[in-house]
Structure 1
Amino acid sequence: MRVIVIGAGVAGLALARGLLNAGHEAEVYEEAPELRTAGGSVSLWPGSTAILDELKADHTGVGRRLETLESWSGDGRELLTIDLTAAERRYGHPSVHVARSELVELLADGVPVTYGMPVEHVVPERAEARLADGRTVRGDVLVGADGRRSVVRRALWGDDPAKLSGWVTWQGFTTMPTALTETHRAVMIAGAKGLCGLIPAGQGRLLWWFDVRSAPGEPFWGDDTRVVERLRERFGGWAEPVPGILETITDIDFFPHHRHVIPPVWGKGPTTLAGDSAHTMPPTMAQGANQALEDAWLLAGSLGDLRGYERARSKVARRPARLAATEATNMQRPMVELLSDRFVTRLYTTLLRRYSNYLLTAS
C-alpha cells in the first residue's frame, strides 16, 4: 500500500520505517527544513526498546540504560526506589534514557523524507493532502503524525482540543560531572515548590528538568526573562546536585503541559493519526515518545483496519494520559515513604504492561 505520512517526528519516522520494512510504500512530508533534533531526552520503557528492535533500529550504545527510578525528598533523603531491572527481566528488554536527537536520527536512517514541505489542506475522505508547493499527494492511507498543532487532526476534529494543565517544564542538559551522570539511576525530587528530575543520558550528559505551576502572564511562563534566577531562588536550597546544576544553566527549553480527552476513534475513511496529534499528554509519566512508538508499531500492521487500530490504541493510551493529566507525580506525597520498594516495583512493572499494546500482545 502507498501511505502518506505527514510529520517526521518519532511517530512519523517510526511508522515509515515499519511500513518500509513490511514492503509498503511510505512518503513522509515534514514542515521543518531538516530533521528536528531539538529537545531534551526521553525515557524508553521495555515495550519501546522492543519495538525499536523490531524496526531494526539498533539502539545499542545509544543513551543510558536505566536500573532504578528513585524518589527523593528536597534534602536528599531517598524515599523509595523502583527496580527497573525487574521489568527488564519480566519483558526481556531494557529501559533506556536517550537524547531525542539520537532517537530521531536512529529512526530516520534509511527513511526518505521531504523536508521543508508544509501541508496546507487535507481531504481525509480521499487520503489527500495539498502541499505548500501546490502539489497534491494521495495515498491508500494518510497518517497525521504532525504533533500537537496537527493540520491533519484539524481536518478531522476541528479546533485543537488540548488545554493547558497549569504546569510547565524548564529543562536542559548539563555536562558538569555529578554523582548521577555516569550511573544508571533516574531521580525525581518532589516538594511543595515543584519537581526536579535528573536522568543520565549518556556521553557525559545529565538531563535536568523543573516542573512548576504557571500559566500565561505568570512567572515561570515562556517569556519570563528572570526564569533562571527564579529557579535558583526556588530550588537552590535542595540537595546536591541541584544547586550545582542551577549554577551551570545557560541553554534552557520551555514546554507548557497540555492535555485532552482521547476519543475512541481518531480518523475518518482512509485517514488516521499517530503520536501527539492523537493523544497529547503532559510529560509527567514519560510516555509521549513511548506512545508514539506504540502507535507506529500497531499501525504498520493495521492498515486494513484503521478504526480497529484507533480503538486498540485509545484504550491503552488513555491509561497513562489520564494519570499524566492529574500531574500527580509533580506533587509532594508525604506518605510515599511508607510504601515498600518491592510493592512499588511490582506496581510499576505491571503498569508498564498496561501502557503498552506491544507488551499486552507479546506477554
Structure 2
Amino acid sequence: MGRNMRVLIVGAGVAGLTAARGLTTAGHQVEVYEAAPQLRTEGGSISIWPSSTGILRGFGVDLDGAGRRLEAMESRSVRGRGLATIDLTAVERRFGGNPSLHIARRELVERIADGVLVHYGHEVRAADPDRAEITFTDGTTVRGDVLIGADGRKSVVGRTLRGENPSKLNGWVTWQAFTTRPTEFTDSGRSMMVSDGRALGSMASAGHGRMLWWFDLRAKPGSPFWEGAPGLADRLRERFGHWPEPFPTLLQDAETLTFYPHQIHRVPAVWGRGPTTLMGDAAHTMPPAMAMGSTQALEDAWALTRSLDDLRGYERARTKIVRRVARAAGSEMPARQGPLMALFTDAFTTRNYMSWLRKSSGYLQQEGWASALQHRPGSTSPANGSTWAESQ
C-alpha cells in the first residue's frame, strides 16, 4: 500500500465503522461523519459467518461473549419433522476456528464503534466525488484524499455517482420481533428454519436471554401483509399458527413486530469515480434472505483496507463476489427451496454450505482455506443451479 491518506467516511453503520477501524489500523487518518446525533443502534439481530468474525478480530474488535455462537442450523417441515442440519462447528473448524455468531445489531455496532472517533450530527448535503469533498447542511465543507460512501441504500455520496437510489422492491417482506420467552432456541446455539416453498419462518438466539424470530413472505404495498395493514397480527396467526412450536406460542404473544421490505438493485462493475467509492448497502443493497448484508459490508471493509490505493480494483474484485451473493439473496432461495432440504444428507449439506461461504468471501479465498473444499466430491457451486442447502 502506498502513502498514508486522509480518508473521509460518510455513515457510521456496520460498514463505515468497520472500515474506519481497518483503515486506522493500516495507518491512515480516518474521519467518520454521521447524520444521526448518536450511534445508530436500531434494528433486529444479525448472523455473521466465519469470514466476518475473522475480519472483526483482525481489526481488534472484542467479540468475547458477543451474541450467541451458532453451532447448527436446523431445517424442519411445517409439521415439525427434521429435514437437515448444517453443522456450524465443522464450518468453524474448517475456517480457522472463526465462529458463526447471531448478535443483536445494537451489540454489534457498539462493539465495532468502541474506540472509533465519529463526528455525529453531521448531515451531508452534497458530495464532489472528483475532489473527495463533502458539504454539510450548514454549508461547511471538508476534503480528503479518499471519500467513502457508507451511508446506506439512500446514499448521498452514491447519488452523486449514479443518480437516484437504484434499489427497488422485490415483492418480499420480513416481519420480526425479539422475545425473552424461554423456548428450546431462546438461548441455544441452534437456529431453526421452516419453509413451505412460499414463505420462511426462522429463529435464532441473539444471546443474553433474547431471541429474534421472523417470517419472510410475499407482500406488495397495500396488500394484507404490508406495513399498516389492519389486523396484521391476526393474519400472521392465521398464516403460520399451524407451524411447529414455538411459532404458534410466539404469535399469540406478539404485540409489536418490525417490518422490513426487501430491496434489490443491480450491482455495477464499478461503484465509484476518481478518489471516491462506496461500500455496504450504498454499493449493493440486498435482501436479508441469505443473511449476507452485513457480511458483505465487512468484506468491503477488509478489501478496502488492502486496496485503498486502487479503488477501481477494489470495486471490480468485490463485484465478482457480490453479484453472485445478491442474485441468490434476491431470489429468496431459502423460502422457495426449504422443503428440498430433505433430499440431502447433513454431511452433504454442511460441505456445500462451506463451499458457498468460501465463494461468498474474498477473505476466505485469500486466506487459503479453500484448498480442501475445491475438489470435494459433490461440492456443487451455488452459481450453477444450487439448492437451498448449498446457498443458505
- Aligned pairs for 1:88-107 (under 5 A) are 88-92=92-96, 93-107=98-112
Structure 2 unaligned spans of 5+: 369-392
2:217 pairs with 1:230: no
User: What per-residue deviation string (whole Å, max 9, x for no partner) do you get for residues 194-241 of structure 1?
Assistant: 211110110111110111111111111122232222111111111100
Aligned pairs (5 A) from 1:186-225: 186-192=191-197, 194-225=199-230
Matched residues, number: 363
Query: What are the superposed Cα offsets for residues 116-144 of structure 1, whole Å, 9 maximum, x if unpaired?
Result: 22110111100011011211011000000
Matched, 1:324 2:367: no
Aligned to 1:164: 169
Residues 1:23 and 2:27 aligned together: yes
1:266-323: CA deviation from partner (whole Å, max 9, x where unpaired):
0000000010010101110000000000101110221100000001111111121111
Q: Is the 8 A contact 1:37 1:101 kept in 2?
A: yes
Q: 2:52 aligns with which of 45, 48, 51?
A: 48
Q: Are the structure 2 counterparts of residues 10 and 333 from structure 1 closer, same or farther at C-alpha, using a change threshold of 3 Å?
A: closer
Letter in structure 1 aligned against 2:342? E
How big is the shift at 1:248? 2.0
Q: Which residue of 2 aligns with 1:245?
A: 250
Deviation at 1:192, TM superposition (A): 4.9
Length-normalised TM-score, structure 1 = 0.98
What is the Cα deviation at residue 193 of structure 1?
Answer: 5.3
Measured against aligned partners, the alpha-carbon deviations of 1:82-136 in whole angstroms (never above 9, x if no partner) come to 1111211111111111100000001111111111221101111000110112110
More displaced stretch, 273-282 vs 24-33 = 24-33
Q: 2:316 aligns with which of 288, 298, 311?
A: 311
Out of 329, 348, 351, the residue aligned to residue 346 of structure 1 is 351
SS in 1 for 2:57: helix
In the alignment, which residue of structure 1 is the partner of 2:43? Answer: 39
Q: Is 2:148 aligned against 1:153?
A: no
CA distance in 2, matches of 1:122, 1:33: 20
Which one-letter code corresponds to 1:149 in the other structure? K
What amino acid is the match of 1:188?
M
**1:79 partnered with 2:83:** yes
Change (3 A) 1:89 1:273: same
Amino acid at match of 2:219: S
Contact 2:168 2:263 (C-alpha < 8 Å) held by counterparts: yes
Cα distance in 1 between the residues matched to 2:68 and 2:177 = 16
TM-score, normalised relative to structure 2:
0.91
Structure 1 residue ranges (4+ consecutive) displaced by more than 4 angstroms after TM superposition: none
Aligned to 2:12: 8
The code of the aligned residue for 2:329 comes to A
Give me the whole-angstrom Cα distance separating, in 1, the residues matched to 2:255 and 2:118.
33
Work out the CA distance in 2 between the residues paired with 1:292 and 1:298: 10
* 8 Å contact kept, 1:70–1:81: yes
User: What is the Cα-based RMSD across aligned positions, in Å?
Assistant: 1.1
Q: Which residue of 2 aligns with 1:133?
A: 138
Q: Report the CA distance between 1:334 and its aligned residue.
A: 3.8
- SS state of the match for residue 353, structure 1? helix
Structure 2 residue matching 1:126: 3-state secondary structure: coil
CA drift of 1:333 comes to 4.4
Q: How does 1:254-269 map to 2 (within 5 A)?
A: 254-269=259-274
* CA distance, structure 1, for counterparts of residue 230 and residue 34 of structure 2: 32
Is there any run of 5+ residues in structure 1 with no aligned partner, and where?
none
Residue pair 2:75, 2:338 contacting (<8 A) in 1 also = no
- What residue identity is the alignment partner of 1:338? L
